[in-house]
Amino acid sequence: MSAESKPTDPLAPLVRKLLEELGEDAGRQGLLRTPERVARSMRFLTSGYERDLDRVVNGAIFDEAASEVVLVKDIEFYSMCEHHLLPFYGKVHVGYIPDGRVIGLSKLPRIVEMFARRLQVQERMTVQVAEAVEKALQPAGVAVIAEAAHLCMMMRGVSKQSSVTTTSCMLGAFRDDQRTRSEFLSLVYGETRIR
């Protein structure tokens, strides 16, 4: 299939119209292929809609007698604010207490990615990650903390470049037991780091 006969993503004409509405000449050299590039970019940045929990976990749940906190921290993520279509990015810390089963460690970042690659608000994304881990594993508890910088706050509006937004969702033992929650927070924010 030649480049000319390749079907155009339905988003591309919308991007072209957006450029024109902004006062740009969408036909000038630097913008000629921008609509197609933006369409591909948006498809990638919102590819989480095409994923579901069963396919992400892909059977990677294993019987294991472990019953102490499992934590994967500093999971990098990039998402798009649904209010302004501007990026927000940061790190997510996901912990759980196994109840006879563990999940493949790589699946936790994949779960984060599945929800981050959608139009989002950080608060909802944090809860979605926690509820997905709970659904997949039925552990004694799940804890998720997300820390992010939001370009909608940094580039526009209040223009606060150094602000960080922190959200959390605690389920099961992490919600019900202060000591368990404190242990999780200590593991996330303590000084011991492997680098």
Please name the amino acid found at residue 56: V
Which architecture, in CATH terms, is 60-189? 2-Layer Sandwich (3.30)
Contact 103, 177 (CB under 8 A): no
Q: Select which of 76, 83, 123, 161 is catalytic.
A: 83
What are the residue ranges spanned by the domains of the chain? 11-45, 60-189
Give the predicted TM-score (pTM) of the model: 0.91
Q: Select which of 20, 50, 76, 82 is catalytic.
A: 82
In order along its 195 residues, the chain shows pLDDT tens digits of: 455 556 789 999 999 999 999 999 999 999 999 999 999 999 999 999 999 999 999 999 999 999 999 999 999 999 999 999 999 999 999 999 999 999 999 999 999 999 999 999 999 999 999 999 999 999 999 999 999 999 988 888 777 778 899 999 999 999 999 999 999 999 999 865 545
Residue 93 designated active-site: no
